[in-house]
Amino acid sequence: MASPAPPSAASAAAAANPRFNSKRKHKPKPKVDGPSALNPNWAQLQSKLPRPTATLGKRKHRPDPSPATAPTEPSPPAEAAEVEVKLEPTSDDTSLTKTVAIDCEMVGVGADGGKSALGRVTLVNSCGNVVYDEYVRPVERVVDYRTHISGIRPKHLYKAKDFWVAQNDVAELIKGRILVGHALHHDLKVLLLSHPKKDIRDTSEYEVFRREGKRRSLKDLTAQVLCAKIQQNEHCPIEDARAAMFIYNKYKKAWEKNLREQFRFRNKLKKRGKKKSAEGDGNDPNVPTVFL
């Protein structure tokens, strides 16, 4: 009779520990693939995060973020570009201030209407309020009203002021005051008036407003400096004078400082010229006169 086989190691372990079961299989530990297994939104969030463009040491090349996820610069809203700024007085003050702005509209006189004559003159104060606005009847017969630009029609001149009356009024109003305007030589020419150069502030002559040394239109300057539109159709002298005044007010501090420096420099040159002329004068009292 064959002898029984010796107990194996497994049977011995089972005899020693009844809980041990050789047929029981060990369950594998769950593998953690990463944060995406725990949070399904992690991959989407990670794709939106900016990645550094520069790395230290040797690292694997990281592809640039796709155009869809790359950050873009914010663009201004479409409504902001369409907002139109209106030129309105800054206060209710209608007094005659130290600084006034002028604008004139002309009509055509002469044989073919090519000669300009005053048809309307407007003055506004530093706040933009009107202090004088009159239609003017020229001395010569009007041939061309230039309505598409001047806005003047025959009915406006029926009861208009005579030229000499309007000229005298304007001369009294601007006397001793700083005169602001655009291309003021045209306005003063049709008014047959002059004004001290030191008291003129012409927005067409100020070097800061020039483009490549060339004068710019009041319409262009107003759009850039004030973000407002003027002279879309017929010109309004109130609006044009107000635009010139507001442009001057915006640059007044730097403008006046620049003028003071220019006048100071010119005075130095004059003093040097007088000194040199005195030194070269043969009648210098310090040089003795020799009689022969």
Q: Where in the sequence is the domain holding 229, given as residue range(s)?
A: 99-254
What is the pLDDT at residue 288? 47
Q: Is residue 275's pLDDT more than 90?
A: no
Average pLDDT score over residue span 70-86 = 50
Stretch among 37-41, 90-94, 150-154, 162-166 having the lowest mean pLDDT: 37-41
pLDDT-derived band at 280, boundaries 50, 70, 90: low
Average pLDDT score over residue span 32-47 = 60
What is the pLDDT at residue 49? 67
The whole-angstrom separation of Cα 184 and Cα 179 is 9
Average pLDDT score over residue span 97-125 = 96
Three-class DSSP category at 102: strand
The whole-angstrom separation of Cα 160 and Cα 166 is 10
What is the pLDDT at residue 42? 66
Q: Residue 291 CB: number of other CB atoms within 10 A?
A: 3
Tens-digit pLDDT profile for residues 208-232: 998 888 899 999 999 999 999 999 8
Average pLDDT score over residue span 225-248 = 95
What is the pLDDT at residue 267? 81
Q: Is residue 199's pLDDT more than 90?
A: yes
Burial track 159-171 (b if 16+ CB lie within 10 A, e otherwise): ebbebeebbebbe
Reference 191, options 97, 101, 103, 95; nearest CA is: 103
Q: Is residue 152's pLDDT more than 60?
A: yes
What is the pLDDT at residue 68? 44
Classify residue 29: in a domain, yes or no: no
Classify residue 239: in a domain, yes or no: yes
Q: Is residue 109's pLDDT more than 90?
A: yes
Classify residue 111: in a domain, yes or no: yes
Q: Is residue 101's pLDDT more than 50?
A: yes
Classify residue 118: in a domain, yes or no: yes
Q: Is residue 69's pLDDT more than 50?
A: no
Read off the DSSP letter of residue 198: G
Task: Assess contact for 199 and 193: CB atoms under 8 A.
Answer: no
Classify residue 280: in a domain, yes or no: no
Stretch among 28-37, 240-249, 256-265 having the lowest mean pLDDT: 28-37
| Number of helical (H) and strand (E) elements in the chain, helices listed first | 10, 7
Classify residue 189: in a domain, yes or no: yes
Note the helical H segments in the chain. Answer: 9-16, 35-38, 42-48, 78-82, 147-150, 163-174, 184-191, 218-221, 237-250, 252-279
Classify residue 272: in a domain, yes or no: no
What is the pLDDT at residue 213? 80
What is the pLDDT at residue 283? 53
* Mean pLDDT value across the chain: 80
Residue 100 Cα to chain centre, angstroms:
23
What is the pLDDT at residue 239? 96
Kindly report the pTM of this predicted structure.
0.65
| Number of domains the chain is built from | 1
Classify residue 195: in a domain, yes or no: yes
Residue 19: its H or E element? none
Nearest 5 degrees, angle CA 210-CA 211-CA 214?
Answer: 70
Identify the CATH number of the domain in which residue 143 sits.
Answer: 3.30.420.10
Task: Assess contact for 216 and 83: CB atoms under 8 A.
Answer: no
Q: Is residue 112's pLDDT more than 80?
A: yes
What is the pLDDT at residue 157? 95
Stretch among 8-22, 84-98, 176-190, 250-264 having the lowest mean pLDDT: 8-22
The whole-angstrom separation of Cα 132 and Cα 172 is 11
Average pLDDT score over residue span 77-104 = 81
